[in-house]
Chains A and B, each alone.
Chain A
Amino acid sequence: MAKFDLNDDGFVVIVGSGAGGGTLGNELAQKGIKVVVLEAGARNEIQDFVNDEWNSFTRLAWKDMRTTSGSWQVARDFPNLPAWIVKSVGGSTVHWAGASLRFEEHEFKIKTAYGDIAGANLLDWPITLAEMEPWYAKAEFKMGTTRTNGIPGLPGNNNFKVMEAGARKLGYKQVHTGRMSINSQPRDGRGSCQQIGFCFQGCKSGAKWSTLYTEIPKGEATGNLEVRPNSIAVRIEHDAAGKVNGVVYIDGEGKTQKQKARVVAVAGNSLESPRLLLNSHSSMFPDGLANSSGQVGRNYMRHMTGSVYAVFEKPVHMYRGTTMAGIIMDEARHDPKRGFAGGYEMETLSLGLPFMVAFLNPGAWGRSFTTAIDGYANMAGMWLVGEDLPQETNRVTLDPVVKDTNGMPVASVHYDDHANDAAMRNHAYRQGAAVYEAVGAIRTFPTPPYPSTHNLGTNRMSEKPRDGVVNKYGQTHDIKNLFVSDGSQFTTSAACNPTLTIVTLAIRQADHIAGAMQKGEI
């Protein structure tokens, strides 16, 4: 494995090792470009994962302080945990569910497709589905996504069978075990899914794609990639000409280091990435880096979400097997007749008993709650995930008071549900309950949103520099050797899970960065 010099200024320095950063790092390394990846978390490997929700959360989750405000229920239920993401090498690809869906064509241009919606800050992406298709294909091949490249779908577990039976009775047509980046047969040196469950706690069999044991070791094998765990980026620095030239970070021993850089790519997820840009303010850039538009941190999206759980007369054991291998896609279309713009997916979901009691109805107690939990073995569950609309006032800012252990202001996350989000959630709750009632559910539970797993949009892509932070390659409009490589680039959220699109953009970005470096543009 490569060990690079702090003072060598020839590298691409990437902050974050997840879907965006880990993929970008390997793609660049394969092209012969030297890369240093700074990862805030430790290097937990497969053997360190545990099938135990709280124990795993303690080891893997990003638990550093954050603050919240706004009308979203997460601010009330989990005021210091707005997001459930991972702080460990591999980032949130360690705990992601594996769902890998492409955007619909209209989801790259919703300002055109939906028209103006009051209170929303809609914008078309500067790229189209047609431009993305060849890159999506590369991502699906890399990740081994089922139902692409001739890879069969995963087998359905009990939780899927219940959802599927209800969906068929309701007349839904697009129902299957999903496009999942989880091996349904051995591939790419990894085995097939053992139906362990605990996909969110790190895959013990390695069947699920994660940068931790795919992109990162492949990049390291080239000798061009070094991952530095326990390295918390605190500031990006620039030269007198306004080009970035290095990243200051705190290493595992608490020492301040600076890694010089030719190019910097930020991929710390949509709360940390804008925080890092804002915390990097200087006399030349008093509002933070790449922020001449004032859009850094704005347009925070977290998807319309919610869950429906249902108790049946007989056992389901929903926790057995792949957590999210099951989807109903019929409601993902844009059909304003339903009373909202955009659409949503219904995907199987289960929680173990410890997380079920924490999330089913936060704050609830007494027999209404405990009789629901008594039905745990007879429960089926689904997650509702749909497009939420960008709003300028939904944003990540630097908390004016609260600082982290390194003295840096923490991220403060403000989110108000748009009326469109609320209308979609209510529709989704009704349809989810109807699916289960069609196969005999005794009780259904409209479960409120969990801390956000899909954090998007806070450094959004735009055609014009005044509308967003980065261009169609994730290159910041203001600083040509500074890139954003995670979901914070998303102009709008689309209905589906974001990881496939993040990986796709990273592969495409690597091609752009390599070309620009070769031409001496950066």
Chain B
Amino acid sequence: MREVDRRSKIDRRKFLTTAAAAPAAVVAVTTGLSVDGAWADNAQALKPETMKTLARVARDVYPHDHLADQYYIAAVIPWDAKAASDPQVKALIEQGVALLNELALARYKSPYAAVAWEEQRVALLREIEQTEFFGKVRGDLLVSLYNNHDVWPKFGYEGSSAEHGGYINRGFNDIDWLS
């Protein structure tokens, strides 16, 4: 069977073009920094700690161990611009993260992002599952995380096929393990 290459490919030209035009936060994403890095420091509307907490929440909601932090960071970065243009969004996010930290401090004496085990953080998320904050963040991630074309190959999904002539000569019926 024809398989899909799931390795990350860094397109140097695309990276340089992006880096020249994009705000610092986006540049940080393309360089592959982790959740704990300085990528959030240039956030305009939300606190850097809030951005980092969002990225941690994103991985805890949809954990894929084969996806690097950069994809989760890319998925939550647009919240900063949305918060900048809409005070209600800003309040929703800041208050949601504050509530999560409050629950984390009460139970684990640590802010959410620093709670050690995923199970512990997930238990906190279950407590706020019915809030508007959680619903909005989770619903947004379904698109902002999974509709990122760069993550598709990592799930073995090939995306658009018409421009490649479809699959008629590219493995539509190449399954080889059925007995």
Contact = CB atoms under 8 A, between A and B. Distances in A.
Contacts of B172: 155, 157-158, 195, 320-321
Contacts of A54: 143, 147
Q: Report which residue of B157, B159, B171, B172 has the largest number of chain A beta carbons within 10 angstroms of its beta carbon.
A: B172
Contacts of A50: 160
B175 A158 contact: yes
Interface stretch (A214-222, A366-374, A451-459, A509-517): A366-374
Interface in B139-179: 142-143, 146-147, 152, 155-163, 165-168, 170-175, 177-179
Q: Size range of the interface on A?
A: 35 or more
B126 to A, nearest CB: 9
B109 interface: no
Contacts of A320: 158, 161, 167, 170-172
A205 B155 contact: no
Given A157-B173, A366-B61, A374-B64, A354 B166 contact: no
B11 interface: no
B66 interface: yes
Contacts of B177: 314
B1 interface: yes
A342 interface: no
A257 B127 CA distance: 54
B23 interface: no
Contacts of A354: 143, 146-147
B162 A161 contact: no
Contacts of A205: 162, 166
Q: Report which residue of B142, B155, B175 has the largest number of chain A beta carbons within 10 angstroms of its beta carbon.
A: B175
A319 B166 contact: no
B91 interface: no
Given A157-B173, A198-B161, A365-B61, A374 B166 contact: no
Contact of B173 (A156, A197, A365): A156
A366 B1 CA distance: 31
Nearest to A155: B173
A341 B79 CA distance: 50
A439 interface: yes
B146 A196 contact: no
Q: Report which residue of A197, A357, A365 has the largest number of chain B beta carbons within 10 angstroms of its beta carbon.
A: A365
B16 interface: no
Nearest to B173: A157
B167 A321 contact: yes
Given A197-B161, A321-B173, A357 B142 contact: yes
A374 B170 CA distance: 23
B178 A353 contact: no
Q: Report which residue of B122, B142, B162, B177 has the largest number of chain A beta carbons within 10 angstroms of its beta carbon.
A: B162
A230 to B, nearest CB: 26
Contacts of B166: 193-197, 205, 321
B15 interface: no
A315 B1 CA distance: 8
Q: Report which residue of B3, B138, B159 has the largest number of chain A beta carbons within 10 angstroms of its beta carbon.
A: B159
Contacts of B122: 366
A51 B162 contact: yes
A370 B165 contact: no
Contacts of B165: 194
A331 to B, nearest CB: 22
Contacts of B1: 314-315, 317
A37 interface: no
B81 interface: no
A352 B64 CA distance: 18
B155 A158 contact: no
A315 B122 CA distance: 31
A333 to B, nearest CB: 27
Interface string B116-148: 000000100000000000000010001100110
A316 interface: yes
Nearest to B162: A204
A376 interface: yes
A233 interface: no
Contact of A158 (B157, B159, B162, B174): B174
A448 to B, nearest CB: 16
Contacts of A439: 178
A494 interface: no
A162 interface: yes
Interface string A37-72: 000000000000011101000000000000000000
Contacts of B146: 353-354, 357, 373
The 4 lowest CB-CB distance pairs between A and B, nearest first, are A377-B156, A194-B166, A321-B172, A51-B160
12 contacts: A51-B160, A52-B159, A157-B172, A158-B173, A195-B166, A198-B160, A315-B3, A354-B143, A366-B61, A366-B122, A373-B64, A373-B146
Given A158-B175, A162-B175, A315-B156, 4 more contacts: A198-B160, A320-B158, A365-B62, A366-B63
Interface of B: 1, 3-4, 61-64, 66, 122, 138, 142-143, 146-147, 152, 155-163, 165-168, 170-175, 177-179
Interface of A: 50-52, 54, 155-158, 161-162, 165, 193-198, 204-205, 314-317, 319-321, 352-354, 357-358, 365-367, 369-370, 373-374, 376-378, 439
